[in-house]
Amino acid sequence: MDDKYKTGRLIKDLLKSKNLKQKDVAEFLGIKPPSLSQMLNGKIPFPQDKFLKIVNLAAPGSKKLEELKKLYFGSMAFVLSGSPVEKDKDEARPVRKLTEVPVISFAQAAGYEPALEPVDDYARDCSDETAMFSHEIRPGYFALNVEGDSMSPDFPHGTVILVAGGEFPQRGDIVVAKLRDGQVVVKHYFRRNNTICLDSINPSGKNFEWHCKDDPGFIQWMYPVLEATIDLRKRRWEKSRVPINYDPNESELQYAVAEDDKQYTKE
């Protein structure tokens, strides 16, 4: 039985003893009830801000409070101090990492000014939701919520991408960039000598190309994308909508995928 399960079970008992309904507590924390249920059942760890809010609600001055803090911060202390925690003496289990970051929209990302504050501080201040990823989370990291079909079919509406704020992209990376006109885009990044290319992910999208020395202010900031959570069914649907250019002079058979996943063959 690991610490996050013990923590969730103890908090669940405290909520029950105070006649607090999970639906009301989830609303108080600013999350959805299924997310709270996963935390209480030990499926995912409590984010630090949510943990502090819920223990102040359920166990102020309680004898259980110290036990809760010991369970939680005993295994999460490295997040606060920056140093790893030793393994449990009785159980040889790996250190658990906190992998949650704030999620912001494209409109919120467009409001970020790197000269004023770190991007992760900005994201935390304007975000009311978080997302979890398998990557190790470092200072500056945040998540971006994809809205609309501008990144289809690879990243359909509802995809959440992990952005390595403060890091430099490499050739071929997918990046998030804020352009001089205030527009925030997600593109493939390439550099040929001093020429920068941002190629669209969407086949019908716009590409950008400029000389970085002749036009140094074209980009205000640009960070690499490390990971994405994608609804595969939505991605399949978006792929079926991508037009296929059919050339009747080609000898190879051409295929098009219909909305009901049946295939047609053009001869």
Is 161 inside any structural domain? yes
Better-scored residue on pLDDT, 62 or 234: 62
Residue 74 pLDDT level (bands cut at 50, 70, 90): low
182 occurs within a structural domain:
yes
Closest CA to 158 of 144, 149, 147, 150: 147
Residue 7 phi/psi, 5-degree rounding, is -60, -50
The pLDDT assigned to 141 comes to: 93
Give CA angle at 197 (194, 202), nearest 5°. Answer: 175
249, 219: one domain: no
108 and 54 within one domain:
no
Q: How confident is the model at residue 178 (pLDDT cuts 50, 70, 90)?
A: very high
Judge whether residue 90 has pLDDT over 50.
no
User: Which amino acid makes up residue 186?
Assistant: V
Say whether pLDDT at 206 is over 50: yes
CATH number for the domain including 21? 1.10.260.40
Longest Cα–Cα distance of the chain, Å, equals 80
Residue 245 C-alpha from the chain's centroid: 34
Domain extent for 24: 3-81
Q: Is residue 89 part of a domain?
A: no
Indicate whether 227 and 239 sit together in one domain.
no
CATH of the domain at 227: 2.10.109.10
Which of 10-24, 161-175, 184-198 has the weakest average pLDDT?
10-24
The predicted model gives 147-168 an average pLDDT of: 84
pTM over 0.85: no
For the cut 70, the answer to whether the pLDDT of residue 61 exceeds it is: no
pLDDT of residue 179: 93
- Condensed to tens digits (0 to 9), the pLDDT of residues 100-121 reads 789 999 999 999 999 899 999 9
For residue 219, what pLDDT band results from cuts at 50, 70 and 90? very high
My answer on whether 63 and 76 are in the same domain is: yes
Kindly state the percentage of the chain with pLDDT values over 70: 72
Give the residue from 81, 113, 136 where a domain finishes.
81
What does residue 195 show for φ and ψ, rounded to 5 degrees? -100, 125
Q: Do residue 34 and residue 65 come from a single domain?
A: yes
Q: What pLDDT, on the 0 to 100 scale, is given for residue 184?
A: 92
Q: What is the mean pLDDT of residues 124-150?
A: 85
**Lowest mean per-residue pLDDT among 62-66, 84-88, 170-174, 232-236:** 84-88
Do 195 and 241 reside in the same domain of the chain? no
Number of domains in the chain: 3
